[in-house]
Amino acid sequence: MRTFWLQTLGCKVNHYESEQIAAVLRAAGLTETDAACADLRIVNTCSITTEAASKSRQSIRRAVRLPVLQSVPAPPSGRARVVVVGCWATSNRPEAALLPGVTAVITHHDDVAARLQQLLADWKRQDLPPSAPLAPHATPLQSPSLIRRTNPDKVLASPPVGTRSLPLLHQRQSHQQRAFLKIQDGCDARCTYCIIPTLRPSPWSKPPADVLQEAQRLVDAGHVEIVLTGIFLGAYGHATALRRRQEPGRRQPLAQLIEDLCTRVRGLRRLRLSSLEPGDLSDDLLRTLQSHGQVVPHFHLPLQSGSNRLLKRMNRQYLRDDYLRLLDAAYEGFDRPAITTDIIVGFPGESDAEFAQTLDVVQRARFIHMHAFAYSARPGTAAARWQRDFVPAPIANRRLELLNRLAQRFSFEYRAQFIGQSVAVLVERDEADASGRVPMIRHGRSARYFDVQFPNTGASPGDLVAVRVDEVTQNQTLGTIEPSRGLELASA
C-alpha cells in the first residue's frame, strides 16, 4: 500500500476532514496521486439530499471500475482497494458495504483514525508473502473501544468518537488556497428537512488552544486566508445547537475565539466564516467582527424561506422579522457586505403567497449569490413523510427559475459598483492548458466572495494581490493587477 487518491463530495466540513484523512495516510508512508495510479482509493461521501446520495454511489462505482495502471503494484486481487467514508457511508452503511468492489466502510460513529490505521496494518499483513515475518508496527490495533465501534450491530451503542480522533493539520492544504479549519461538529437542532442530526448527532467544539495552534500552523504553511467551518458554527462552545438550552449571560464563545484568532495568530491576513444561522449574529459577535480588519465582509446567512409558517414547519430557530433585523445589522455594520444564502423552493405545503414572501425578503436582501434548490424528500427526515403536501415539480421549478434570474441580476449589480476600484484577490490554483503552459488568465476570490479574472502577470496561486475592476459581465468580473498597490488592500 504505497499510494492513495481521495475524492470529496459535499460541504467544506467534508473537505477539511478529507485533509485530515490524507494526513493520517501520509503519516503512514503513503503518497497522494491520481486515481488511476492509486492502489488505495477513498471516497468521502455526502448525504444531505437524495441527489447527493446518488452522486456518492456513482462516485464509488467509478472508483471501483477504474483499472489500476500496470506500473502500479496492485493488491493480490489486481484491483485497488476502495474505502467509503463520510455522511452517506454513515446513513447507508449496509448499502455501501454491499456495493461490489468496496473494501471497507468507515462511518462518523467509528474512530476514523484508528480504523484507517487498522486497515493499513491488515492489508500489509495480507500482502506479505506467506513466509515473511510480520513487522511489529503492522500488528492490527486491538483497542477494545475500536472493536466495539467497528461492530455494525453496536456502532450506535457507544459514545461517538468519529472525526475527533483525526489529527490537527499542520501542512498546506493541497486542493485550495483558502485553508478550511473545522472548529465544530454535530447538530441537534433537527430541522425537519435535514438528515445531519441523525448522522452527526452530538455537538462538539474543538478546544480554543487547538484551534489557535492549527490556525498558526496553516498560516505558517503559506495560507493567508482561513475559513472557519462547522456543522452548526454558531453552536461553537455550547453543548447544544438549541438556543433555548444554551447558557445565557456570558460572552459568545465564537466571538471570543475570533478575537483570539485575529490578535494571536501571526500572519493571518483574512478570516472568513463559512455559514451563520440568523440567530448567531449577536451584538457581541457583530462587535467582534467589526473590530478586526482580518474579518472579511462576507456572510453566508441561510434564509430557507420568507414565510413564518414554513419556517416553523421547518423547525428553524428564527422568523422572518428576525432575519430582516439581522440583515439590517449586517448592512449597518459593514461597508457593502456580501450576503449569500440558501433557499428551499417548494417545501411541502408552500403556497404561491408564501413563495411571494420569500421573494420579498430576497428583493430586500439583494443577495449576491443564492444556493436555491427545489425541495427533495430526504428519507429519514420528518418532512419526507408529508407527501400529501409535496409541491408539483413544474411549480417548484418555475419558482426556482425566478429566483435564479434574480440572483444573476443582484450579482451583476453588486459587482458593478466596484468598477474602477481596487479589490484584494486571493489567487486560486489554475490548471495548465493543453500544451502544459501556464494559463494566460488567472482568477481569484475577493474578500467579498466574488471571483475576479485578470491577465497573468506573474501572480502565483496563494498570492494576495490588488486588482482593479475594469469590467463586469453577467457571469464574469474582469480586472488588472496593480502591483504598485501592494497588499494594503488585504481587507478591501
Q: How confident is the model at residue 68 (pLDDT cuts 50, 70, 90)?
A: confident
Q: How high is the pLDDT of residue 396?
A: 97
Mean pLDDT of 47-62: 94
Contact 216, 55 (CB under 8 A): no
Q: How far is CA 221 from the centre of its chain?
A: 21
Q: Write down the mean pLDDT value for the chain.
A: 87
| String of DSSP letters for 315-364 | T-S--HHHHHHHHHHHHHHSSS-EEEEEEEES-TT--HHHHHHHHHHHHH
Q: What are the backbone dihedrals phi and psi of residue 276, each rounded to the nearest 5 degrees, phi first?
A: -130, 140
Q: What is the pLDDT of residue 111?
A: 93
- Can you give the pLDDT at residue 78? 62
Q: Which residues have CB under 8 Å from 386's CB, separation 6+?
A: 348, 349
C-alpha–C-alpha distance, residues 434 and 455, integer Å: 18
Can you give the C-alpha Rg of the chain in angstroms? 24
> Per-residue confidence at 491, pLDDT binned at 50, 70, 90?
very low
Q: What pLDDT score does 430 carry?
A: 65
Band (77; pLDDT cuts 50, 70, 90)? low
The residue-averaged pLDDT of 111-128 equals 89
Task: Give me the pLDDT at residue 147, please.
Answer: 25
Q: DSSP 3-state helix, strand, coil percentages of the chain (rounded to 5)? A: 40, 20, 40
**Residue 480 burial (C-beta neighbours within 10 Å; 0-12, 13-18, 19+):** middle
Query: Is a pLDDT exceeding 80 seen at residue 23?
Result: yes
Q: Are 42 and 7 in contact (CB under 8 A)?
A: yes
List the Cα angle 235/241/247 in 5-degree steps. 75
Dihedral, 266, 271, 273, 274 alpha carbons, nearest 10 = -100
pTM of the model: 0.88
Which of 101-115, 157-171, 303-317 is the least confident region? 157-171
User: In which element (H, E) is residue 50 found?
Assistant: helix 50-65
Mean pLDDT on 336-356: 97
Sheet of 204-205, strands arranged across: 204-205, 179-185, 225-230, 270-273
Residue 343's pLDDT band (cuts 50, 70, 90)? very high
* Position 142 pLDDT exceeds 90: no
The pLDDT tens digits for 146-186 are 222 333 333 333 345 678 889 998 888 876 789 999 999 99
In this predicted model, what pLDDT tens digit does every residue of 231-246 receive, in sequence order? 999 999 999 999 888 7
User: What confidence score (pLDDT) does residue 174 get?
Assistant: 72
Predicted confidence band at 133 (pLDDT cuts at 50, 70, 90)? very low
Which pLDDT score is estimated for 249? 63
Least confident of 133-147, 275-289, 394-408: 133-147
Question: For the segment 199-215, what is each residue's pLDDT rounded down to a tens digit?
Answer: 999 899 999 999 999 99
Residues of the chain with pLDDT > 90, as a percent, come to 73
User: What are the structural domains, with CATH classification, of the chain?
Assistant: 3-154 (3.40.50.12160), 166-414 (3.80.30.20), 422-485 (2.40.50.140)
Dihedral of alpha carbons 201, 203, 207, 208, sign: positive
User: 323 CB contacts (<8 Å, ≥6 apart)?
Assistant: 278, 301, 303, 306, 361
pLDDT at 433: 55
Phi/psi at 308 (nearest 5 deg)?
A: -60, -40
